[in-house]
A and B are shown apart, each in its own frame.
Chain A
């Protein structure tokens, strides 16, 4: 297979684009996809102070490298979840990456915050993924607001977004469908959130990391086995294999034709939000989700 742009030997085949690229031209393709996502959705500008959520995986590191090279004002935040089998490696990858690319990085230790994920896991019978996600969202949002960041950028890619959309559609979750998209505007107590990699697949970010020499952490989280999103991704992979381009058309079709109907229904929902009496984080419950987890842990 030849590179679609320069006719050299291709290193990456992309059936959904009916194209193949050599390593150099693939980087051009990747950058253009990120730029298109930023421009089409007005994600941020050079004036914004951007916090990237750094997990140590391929997507967050690829995103940070791209934004840095494109000249945006970025810093990274890594939330160390204190999972013995994977957190040490993830943290090391983040620190090494940020040193190489001269990106300021901040670390928040969940051990020090008295919220280590393994301790939470011991106390619940269902998968810990939703609580882990809640804790991460809480700290990323809070850190961004408390430190003057105007945007929080995450490495969610096309596979993450289509799996989430698929899951939301299966449950016809109107609230989540109304919020889904590459931008979640800032609102009462929440920083603006953006997903500049939403046009790129996991396969494409993995190729990007290999080609650009990004050493990322691919130790899977020991608690994620059997997670429903992994299963949905495999279903969508089968579909994409048979019908290349199906994922992006599913996602962009939703954004263009359906999202507005769900978003309209959700207008005004923030009127129920009030500050958590323990930590001031916005919540519609008596105390916020993270304070409830903290209370569960201290109850023993």
Chain B
């Protein structure tokens, strides 16, 4: 699974996450700290993610 983390624009790869909640935990984020985007869709923490998915993690804390 390819994951683009914004705003750093850092790409990481994970082989297995299961669902969004677990994916965020692996990235040390809480559900209220980032949008999880697949294509044009927002994913809630209970949604499953697949190894072939391309996911954007958009952190939301404003700094300045």
Partners in one complex: yes
A211 and B42: CB pair below 8 A?
yes
Contact of A13 among B33, B45, B63, B64 (CB under 8 A): B45
Most buried by B among A129, A159, A203: A203
Minimum CB–CB distance for A172 against chain B, Å: 26
Query: Quick check: A203 and B33 within 8 Å, CB to CB?
Result: yes
Residues 206-251 of A contacting B (Cβ, < 8 Å): 206-207, 210-211, 218-221, 223-225, 227, 230, 233-234, 237-238, 240-241
Judge if A23 is at the interface, Cβ distance under 8 Å. yes
Q: How many residues of B contact A (CB 8 A)?
A: 21
A11 within 8 A of B: yes
Contacting residues of chain B (32-57) with chain A, CB-CB under 8 angstroms: 32-33, 35, 37, 41-47
Q: How far is the CB of B23 from chain A (nearest CB, A)?
A: 14
Count of A interface residues, CB-CB < 8 Å: 37
- Determine the distance from Cα of A7 to Cα of B44 in the docked complex, in whole angstroms: 14
CA distance A20 to B62 in the complex (A): 23
A73 CB contacts on chain B under 8 angstroms: none
Q: Which of A10-41 contact B (CB under 8 A)?
A: 10-13, 15, 20, 23
Residues of B within 8 A of A210 (CB): 35, 37, 42, 58
With a CB–CB cut-off of 8 A, which chain A residues contact B32? 15, 201, 203, 237, 240-241
Asked whether any CB of chain B lies closer than 8 Å to the CB of A174, the reply is no
With both beta carbons as reference points, the residue of chain A lying nearest to B64 in the complex is identified as A221
Question: Which residues from chain B contact A233 at a C-beta distance below 8 Å?
Answer: 61
The answer to whether B62 touches A59, judged by C-beta atoms less than 8 angstroms apart, is yes
A168 at the interface (CB under 8 A from B): no
In the complex, what residues of B have CB within 8 A of residue A224's CB?
63-64
Complex contacts, B41 vs chain A, CB 8 Å:
11
Per-residue CB contact flags for chain A residues 137-180 toward chain B (1 = under 8 Å, else 0) read 00000000000000000000001000000000000000000000
Q: Could you pull out 16 A-B pairs where Cβ atoms are within 8 angstroms?
A: A10-B44, A13-B44, A13-B45, A15-B31, A23-B42, A57-B62, A59-B62, A132-B64, A201-B32, A202-B60, A202-B62, A203-B33, A207-B35, A218-B6, A221-B63, A241-B30
B residues near A (Cβ < 8 Å) are: 6-7, 30-33, 35, 37, 41-47, 58, 60-64
